[in-house]
Copies of this chain bind each other. A is one copy, B any other.
Amino acid sequence: MASGDTGDAERVFDVIFTCDAVNGGTMRTDMQATMVEPDHATFDLATDEGAFHGGGGTAPTPLMLFAGGLSACLMTQLRAFSKRLRVDAGAIRLHTRLHWRGRQRGREPYVTEPVAFTIDIEMDGAASLEDRLRLIEAAKKGCFVEQTLMRPNTIAHRLKHAESWVDA
């Protein structure tokens, strides 16, 4: 790279979030979600289940937070990149639909799998169809949640046992 030419320099950055969750015995879970990198911020979150699933209905269910996280992550990239790519998107509306299937044998714990995920997008602005599609393509590549869902991920679990940690 030529000295002073920073236009094509690749910048690599880490994005790290943590979530501390506690459950005392009901279906309600209380959480602190924290952005650790690249900035620092913390918000309290909670989930509960409806009476159908033995909960008190005091907060959204876990899958509502998941659906909101996916929708809002894509939305935020659409908004941010609309400015960067100078695409007049105007107000943006998304309708996300997430479909899973569960299977349960007798009284055993059920097992689950995703079936179909769709996101319908509407933009009020004056941008051409070509520019709208270009914006969506960039937002998909920049959306942390969508990029995560597109590939198989390993989640490493550890259980605390007698003051040490065992793989779980």
Question: A residues near B, CB below 8 A?
Answer: 6-27, 29, 31, 33-35, 38-39, 41, 43, 45, 47, 49-50, 52-54, 57, 59-73, 75-81, 84-85, 90-107, 109-123, 129, 132-133, 136-161, 165-166, 168
Is the CB–CB distance between B166 and A67 below 8 Å?
A: no
* 19 more CB-based (< 8 A) A-B contacts, given A11-B103, A14-B99, A152-B152: A15-B99, A16-B98, A20-B93, A21-B72, A26-B79, A41-B61, A43-B59, A43-B60, A43-B64, A47-B69, A62-B145, A65-B66, A112-B142, A112-B143, A118-B158, A119-B156, A120-B157, A129-B166, A133-B168
A165 and B95 CA atoms in complex are apart in Å by 13
Shortest A25–chain B CB gap in Å is 7
Q: How far is the CB of A120 from chain B (nearest CB, A)?
A: 5
CA of A38 to CA of B137, assembled, Å: 33
Residue of B nearest to A65 (CB): B69
List the B side residues contacting A13 at CB < 8 Å: 101-102, 104, 110
Give complex CA distance A41, B119 in Å: 20
Question: How far apart are A99's CB and chain B's nearest CB, in angstroms?
Answer: 5
Bound Cα distance A23, B76 (Å): 8
Contact of A94 among B20, B140, B165 (CB under 8 A): B20
The 4 closest A-B pairs by CB, nearest first: A66-B69, A65-B69, A33-B64, A62-B72
Question: How long is the Cα–Cα vector from A112 to B12 in the complex, in angstroms?
Answer: 10
> Are the C-beta atoms of A121 and B160 separated by less than 8 Å?
yes
Q: Which residues of B contact A90 (CB under 8 A)?
A: 25
